[in-house]
Amino acid sequence: MDDTPGTTTGAARVAARARRAVVTGGAGFVGSHVCEALVAHGVEVVCVDDLSTGDLGNLAALRDEPRFTFVEADVSRGLDAVGDEPVDLVLHLASPASPLDYLRLPLETLLVGSAGTRHALELAGRAGARFVLASTSEVYGDPEVHPQREDYWGHVNPVGPRSVYDESKRFAEATTAAYRRSRGVDAGIVRIFNTYGPRMRGHDGRMVPTFVRQALAGEPLTVAGDGSQTRSVCYVDDLVDGILAFAATDHPGPVNLGNPTELTVGQVAEDVLAATGSDAGVVHVDLPEDDPRRRRPDAALAERLLGWRARTPWPEGLARTVAWFRAEDGGAEVAAAV
């Protein structure tokens, strides 16, 4: 294997050291792309998902793949269903992730970050496997420093509505660090910033899919506040590459994975209107409680450590996302017509 950072894909680097991986949350948006990348590189994948926010349709391409197994189970209750075969890598992605989902599933969200993370770490410990926690930029809360570096401890409201997600991930990070320190598990943390791409759900409340769905339906885009708040969005293929490149190391992290290019929400809305050819315009709605004003990763550590950076330009990622939503819409219309 060529160990020079940046010269091989993340999946190829994992394949050089892992034969069998367990991916929790593998039926979700990010997880399904992770499963596909691993299987494509010859890694056997066991995907564990309770389908609470994921969809088996995301795994359609893997259905007949002998290297892929799907297990329907709630990670918060345990991972016994995975069995006793050797495991080299545990990627813990299971968690409601969109605000609509975690506000609808507050206790489940807290539980999968706490009990779920513990079960996934126990599995990795028993198997002697590498463990990676999919944490989030939300651990920084409404940050007081920009851009956010990994050594910033965050500014989180522990009792606000978003706390079920933010604090669940903070607890998950603490648990991961403790298993590494006290049990010697080869555990690491990636902090994922806003990601977008094919397989997001148009009704999941996240900015890009919401705007694309609205634009394709000819509805005005609902911009929160005056739209001057910023987000940085990373295309899903880039993110998957970063997660897997990190998984192939034994680094503890946390490492930020995100695209440092900052866009205002208003700009994103304009770009979506242009990419879809919609002339429906925008309407302004109230800002959600605890909505962060700015969010931008300092991605220097990922670049130094992994040779990784987000490479897909926003217009290109947006075009691919719009194409996928159009094809899905077309598929749904055909299905409804027969």
Active site residues: 165
Q: Binding of ligand NAD at residue 278 (CB under 6 A)? A: no
- Asked if 96 interacts with ligand NAD (CB under 6 A), we say yes
46 binds ligand NAD (CB under 6 A): no
Q: In the block, which residue shows the tokens 């302004």?
A: 284
Query: Nearest distance from residue 26's CB to ligand NAD, in Å?
Result: 7
- The CA distance from 303 to 229, in Å, is 26
Identify which of residues 9 and 53 has a Cβ nearer to ligand NAD in the complex.
53
Q: Does 167 bind ligand NAD (CB under 6 A)?
A: no
23 close to 47: Cβ distance less than 8 angstroms: yes
> What minimum distance in Å lies between the beta carbon of 192 and ligand NAD?
4
| 297 makes contact with ligand NAD (CB under 6 A) | no
CB of 277 to ligand NAD, least distance (A): 26
| Cα 170–chain centre separation | 16
Cα 250 to Cα 125, 257, 263: the distances in Å are: 14, 16, 33
Q: Which of 31, 147, 209, 317 binds ligand NAD (CB under 6 A)?
A: 31
- The residue behind tokens 């034994």 is 250
Asked if 166 touches ligand NAD (CB under 6 A), the answer is: no
| Contact call for residues 185 and 87 (beta carbons, < 8 A) | no
Among 112, 127, 223, 244, binds ligand NAD (CB under 6 A): 112
Chain residues 195-214 in contact with ligand NAD, contact rule CB under 6 A: 195
Residues in Cβ contact with 53 at an 8 Å cutoff, skipping those fewer than 6 apart: 28, 96, 97, 98, 101, 105, 204
Is 76 a binder of ligand NAD (CB under 6 A)?
yes
- Chain positions 212 to 271 lying near ligand NAD, rule: CB under 6 A, are none
By CB under 6 A, is residue 94 in contact with ligand NAD?
yes
Does 52 bind ligand NAD (CB under 6 A)? Our answer is: yes
Question: Sign (positive/negative) of CA torsion 135, 139, 141, 144?
Answer: negative
Residue position matching structure tokens 């940046």: 6
Task: Give, as one character, the DSSP assignment of residue 114.
Answer: I
Count, residues near ligand NAD per rule CB under 6 A: 30
Tell me if 248 sits within 8 A of 10, measured CB to CB: yes
143 contacts ligand NAD (rule: CB under 6 A): no
Q: Does 100 bind ligand NAD (CB under 6 A)?
A: no
CA distances from 263 to 6, 34, 68, 227, 285 (A): 26, 26, 38, 10, 19
Interface ranges with ligand NAD (CB under 6 A) = 24-25, 27-31, 48-54, 74-76, 93-97, 101, 112, 116, 134, 136, 192, 194-195
